[in-house]
Structure 1
């Protein structure tokens, strides 16, 4: 081959190599950009899903029309679709009208039989049953109801006024007017309590259902009530007919235990001002009371710690109305929110759990005397002092969230004190969602801590020995074997941890504790004994192969501890170490706990940390360690003073990547813990992590609901936590590299 041909071949080879280099550069660059783009897309998608949680509430006017009745409204309501409204006038006129245009659909006159309406009580928004206290001492019970049909394929809603217990009024006080009335209708009994001449009167009608005909009959009985030392202005019956709330005009209250027929608690609702409104929140547990000085308080019954088996009415939250007292107060039908309107027609929208004012808006319709909110909380209907009705569209999709509700202690209904709680669902419709991230974040860090506590020392020490001291032939077998552990599916590890490891640890608790003592001691004793053997015998084992001698020792110590577990438990712990921990030490024990998670997740994290750290240590240039040894340093001094500082960026990266793996682990935590969102550092208690919580609940949520978006917010928190940890780790790694890179 001529020289020109050689040059031509070399030139073609260089050009082809440049082409390959260009393709490789473009491919690698595109891959890196693609990874960054994917991360950004995940970030923005999470933001897209959670941004509606933080959108403010808004309201806009829709229709306005005049009512046909001249009597002020006692009660306004809307049906499910907010298409038809119900109005009850103070003279007993009941009207149903279309909300879109105000057209009257039907009207009826309540059978008052010459009596006047003196008081009104709503059983609940869900039941739609209301009671009217009359001037002749009787109580009339009625219900507005709606039937839905589909003639010719179109939806038709037909309103009807029904009398669930007949159109005959119940006699409560013969001939004496009922100044106040309260009603409670349960599956077992109907209870009515009224106020006449400042005295309480009560009746209960026990429901008895015929087994064959399913006909319900009522058996009347008196309700004994204690004498009062205040003049009642409002009376309300709590859920289950357990409590009677008696409120005076000056804010004084008496809490009466109905089964015990005694006054349980007494006091004042306000420091100043008079009672203007009182309503139950959804579920009837919380009582909302408003004063004419612009304060709305939330109260509910809790156990009195100062009195054994006693109860008291506890103030929980207070909401301030800036421009004066609340003229009308209504509560949402399916959430723990409420709406207040003052004398000037200014509306304030609140949510109790998040303790937020969501909206403050002037409706510009004058003084308001009645108001209703639709069952879906998307419309508001008001009636002003001129008899005009106005409807408004309300946009308030996700009121449950606030910084306090997510990260601080919240006093939830029926809880004795404020606490961190995650409980997103329940079996009843009156449930108060609890979206505290604190127990989930705590559980995430707890699981990662115990996993790293077990994995980090084993992985780092193993990496140091494998890279620096182990024989090359043994290293070529050991390193791939440990890295192969990473290929095990985490669902398998979680399955084994939950079904085998957790019961094994519970059964052999003394063995687990004794291992932490006997295994290190056994290794040290073996090492000392080995050093005392003749050098001629020790030289038979080549340098770097000594770990193989520890394998039978470790197996023997483990088997010995397991065999001695039962005798140790009988000798020192009365035959049951779990009971000893709980009863004598006061440490609760759950079978699936943080110890199980630490062992199982540590097993999953060890290969990651080991592989990266071992590569970092092994990649330290040999001339550094050789130079240190040549200057008189021992192998251990060379390792500590030269090799580890040089490899420290890689070791630190290994630890951070392992921690990221532990923080984001899902299946092991999901299957090996009790999955209970509690804040307890006890190693024998379980936890719930952010990742496991998302995996458990995302399939059960309604798309675009608050719960659904809160889970995406949890994913965003986990994403940002990982991002922050990795950023700090990269900064530390770069500083370590700059510091030790010149060795």
Structure 2
């Protein structure tokens, strides 16, 4: 270009007002985009952290330690020890506002637990010249009591509390009532003083037992109700029981009135079967202590199944009946607790939980929970031995009486049944033959022992994910490889969106179909399903062999990469043949019923909604996720790597296995991890397609319950703030941490794979 041309060229100015405005707008958009993306990313991180913090906030109280604080201490008219006015029994009502002391002279005194002021007093109808020598309650949660007298008789009574609301103020009015009349009941022969008594009331029968020395006396009262007056008449019957080896120190009758436990002075326990009161039987005699220890206290745990035995060395042991291999029930020592090294002087079971409070000769008290096998708290209560103690029905208050007077203690112990062993280890639950992993969070009775092991739920979660990935991973990865590497671009543009569209199907629809259609279909065509796994692969291989033997001219009519369309009818025909032959194969090999053959001949349990159904349904739901991510990773491998490998003489298969898959391995691994995360967190399919039973069995024909499904089922029915409620949040936290750890490890592996194969 000459000089005139250069001079004539227009000049470019970048500082014009229009360009400046454009530049300003562009910089503003860049900043807005940068800050918007950064804010969104930080917001996601903050949201995840807030979820984590909230889960921790709900779970943390589970592991908070128990606490006891003295709220009041006072001195009531404390009788002189050894007189007829000894305090024999101490308890409280529901609100822990009214206390009750029962004394040997028959005085039943109600008092305010915080001030010690007497509110009401009653006198039991003792015969003249007699005194109370023994007293016992039916069970920790029952107000029914029996008092044994010095003349060999017994009085049945109960403490009752009526709540009224005059002027919107709560008033508790205590009383002593006699459900079976005020007349004393004769127990011992020749009027011998009763040293121990026991009572148990049922719908059809009332049992009262007493002892004098080595003799045990029992009277059964059969109840007959008058349909007109609804009054209950008692028909008395004496029950003959054999004498025990030593002097009876404690009598206990279980709530079902099947067993009588008699603790004697030789530190052994006599077990009497009293289901048939006409023929009672001494079943066994068990030694309760070892070495030089002696039994100093014995009580029922809530429910009357377990016995709590305290000894002179500060041990408390739990015992209950266990059925052995021959079907015989034996009293077995299950677990032990240690309060100190001084004798245990008293045990107060909780009224609504499987826990108890024990005190020793030094005035120390300990809170324990049997299911969790936890020592929750040990605290000195008095400076001297405790005479009597009583725990409130809610387990949140304690009354102790010692030579120093009465003391009222407030107890904070919200979640005693939770411990690491109760959540993740085997626990020997009451009436079970051995320790097991059990999840059973509720029952119909109030003395139920919560079984809150998370192991069956975690096992079920991994089991469901395993069978789903077992189906989904091979199909999705192989489909992604073929679609991205071998399939014709035109066909790929149709197939990939269709498979990705499957991901939009609501999982509740898949669960509904799996539970109501697929599960019965699999059960009725079980032989055909297994035949399908054999016939279809061989049919595909056979057709491939046949296709390879066809003339090139005929094969070339199908464009390269469109061959999968030919396999569709082959797979359909093979599947139809396998399912159609189900009945014939079942008749030939399994006697006409494969399910019965699996159950009877192989001894494998079969449930209609099982892990196989879950694997099929959830695998179908996971396939699109794995396929889409893996296909994108494979398709994104730079073409120059593929062309270079082919140009150097490698076959397409060699190029795939040694170049393409290695380069795409980080993305394929991410696809598998994301798919597994989807399977682990799936709720509705597992909820609807399994028996939803929390069992630990790898059997593919058995169901399971997952953590996510358990949360969905039980969270709406759990009491807010209860142990059950918080353990469900702990299950959610477990899922959260599992996903976080797996994703973190997956990211580390993916980074290493990317670093290793980035040089290709």
Shorter chain as denominator, the TM-score bin is over 0.9
Give the counterpart of 2:287 among 264, 268, 274. Answer: 268
Q: Distance in 2 between matches of 1:21 and 1:567?
A: 70
Corresponding position of 1:15: 24
Give the counterpart of 2:211 among 192, 195, 209. Answer: 195
Corresponding position of 2:450: 433
Give the counterpart of 2:86 among 56, 63, 72. Answer: 72
Give the counterpart of 1:86 among 100, 103, 109. Answer: 100
Corresponding position of 2:406: 389
- Tell me how far 1:356 sits from its aligned partner: 0.6
C-alpha contact 2:531 2:579 (8 A) present in aligned 1? no
Corresponding position of 1:309: 327
Q: Distance in 2 between matches of 1:199 and 1:591?
A: 58
- Tell me how far 1:6 sits from its aligned partner: 6.5
Does 2:545 align with 1:528? Answer: yes
Q: Distance in 2 between matches of 1:537 and 1:108?
A: 108
Corresponding position of 1:28: 37
Corresponding position of 1:287: 307
- Tell me how far 1:137 sits from its aligned partner: 1.3
1:25-174 to 2 correspondences below 5 Å: 25-70=34-79, 71-113=85-127, 114-174=129-189
In terms of mean alpha carbon deviation, does 281-290 or 195-204 score higher?
Answer: 195-204
Corresponding position of 2:527: 510
> Residue by residue, what CA displacement relative to the aligned partner does 1:33-82 show, whole Å, maximum 9, x if unpaired?
01000000000000100111111111111111111251332111111111
Q: Which runs of 5+ in 2 are unaligned?
A: 1-8, 80-84
Q: Distance in 2 between matches of 1:551 and 1:678?
A: 40
> Residue by residue, what CA displacement relative to the aligned partner does 1:504-524 show, whole Å, maximum 9, x if unpaired?
000000011101111111110
- Tell me how far 1:140 sits from its aligned partner: 0.8
- Tell me how far 1:180 sits from its aligned partner: 1.7
Q: Distance in 2 between matches of 1:402 and 1:81?
A: 28
1:176-215 to 2 correspondences below 5 Å: 176-215=192-231
Q: Distance in 2 between matches of 1:625 and 1:106?
A: 96
> Residue by residue, what CA displacement relative to the aligned partner does 1:137-174 show, whole Å, maximum 9, x if unpaired?
11111111100011122111100011111111111124
In terms of mean alpha carbon deviation, does 252-261 or 697-706 score higher?
Answer: 252-261
TM-score under structure 1 length normalisation: 0.98
Corresponding position of 1:453: 470
Does 2:696 align with 1:676? Answer: no
> Residue by residue, what CA displacement relative to the aligned partner does 1:638-670 show, whole Å, maximum 9, x if unpaired?
000000000000000000000000000000000
Does 2:559 align with 1:542? Answer: yes
Does 2:492 align with 1:475? Answer: yes
SS at match of 1:239: coil
Q: Distance in 2 between matches of 1:345 and 1:197?
A: 30
- Tell me how far 1:561 sits from its aligned partner: 1.3
C-alpha contact 2:103 2:132 (8 A) present in aligned 1? no
Q: Distance in 2 between matches of 1:179 and 1:394?
A: 33
- Tell me how far 1:230 sits from its aligned partner: 3.9
Does 2:585 align with 1:565? Answer: no
Q: Distance in 2 between matches of 1:198 and 1:501?
A: 67
In terms of mean alpha carbon deviation, does 118-127 or 578-587 score higher?
Answer: 118-127
Q: Distance in 2 between matches of 1:347 and 1:176?
A: 35
Q: Using a 3 Å threshold, how does the CA distance of structure 1 residues 228 and 304 change in structure 2: closer, same or farther? A: farther
C-alpha contact 1:483 1:607 (8 A) present in aligned 2? yes
Q: Distance in 2 between matches of 1:10 and 1:463?
A: 48
Corresponding position of 1:407: 424
Corresponding position of 2:318: 298
- Tell me how far 1:434 sits from its aligned partner: 0.8
Corresponding position of 1:627: 644
1:649-668 to 2 correspondences below 5 Å: 649-668=666-685
SS at match of 1:241: coil
> Residue by residue, what CA displacement relative to the aligned partner does 1:656-711 show, whole Å, maximum 9, x if unpaired?
00000000000000000000000000000000001111110000011001110011
C-alpha contact 1:277 1:327 (8 A) present in aligned 2? yes
Size of the alignment, in residue pairs?
740
Q: Distance in 2 between matches of 1:513 and 1:135?
A: 78
In terms of mean alpha carbon deviation, does 219-228 or 187-196 score higher?
Answer: 219-228
- Tell me how far 1:341 sits from its aligned partner: 1.0
C-alpha contact 2:372 2:416 (8 A) present in aligned 1? yes
> Residue by residue, what CA displacement relative to the aligned partner does 1:300-349 show, whole Å, maximum 9, x if unpaired?
111122xx331110110111122312111101010011101111111111
SS at match of 1:348: strand
C-alpha contact 2:91 2:391 (8 A) present in aligned 1? yes
- Tell me how far 1:250 sits from its aligned partner: 3.1
SS at match of 2:387: strand
- Tell me how far 1:560 sits from its aligned partner: 1.2
C-alpha contact 2:214 2:243 (8 A) present in aligned 1? no
- Tell me how far 1:227 sits from its aligned partner: 4.2
Aligned residues: CA RMSD: 1.3
C-alpha contact 1:280 1:286 (8 A) present in aligned 2? yes
Q: Distance in 1 between matches of 2:690 and 2:324?
A: 35
Q: Distance in 1 between matches of 2:10 and 2:341?
A: 101
TM-score under structure 2 length normalisation: 0.96
C-alpha contact 1:69 1:93 (8 A) present in aligned 2? no
Give the counterpart of 2:357 among 335, 339, 342. Answer: 339
Q: Distance in 2 between matches of 1:356 and 1:240?
A: 28
SS at match of 1:25: helix
Does 2:344 align with 1:326? Answer: yes
Corresponding position of 1:229: 245
Corresponding position of 1:369: 387
Does 2:372 align with 1:354? Answer: yes
Give the counterpart of 1:734 among 732, 735, 751. Answer: 751
SS at match of 2:554: helix
C-alpha contact 2:617 2:685 (8 A) present in aligned 1? yes
- Tell me how far 1:194 sits from its aligned partner: 1.5
> Residue by residue, what CA displacement relative to the aligned partner does 1:220-262 show, whole Å, maximum 9, x if unpaired?
1222324433432211111210011111233211111112522
Give the counterpart of 1:607 among 621, 624, 637. Answer: 624
Does 2:704 align with 1:687? Answer: yes
Q: Distance in 2 between matches of 1:724 and 1:170?
A: 68
C-alpha contact 1:232 1:246 (8 A) present in aligned 2? yes
SS at match of 1:487: coil
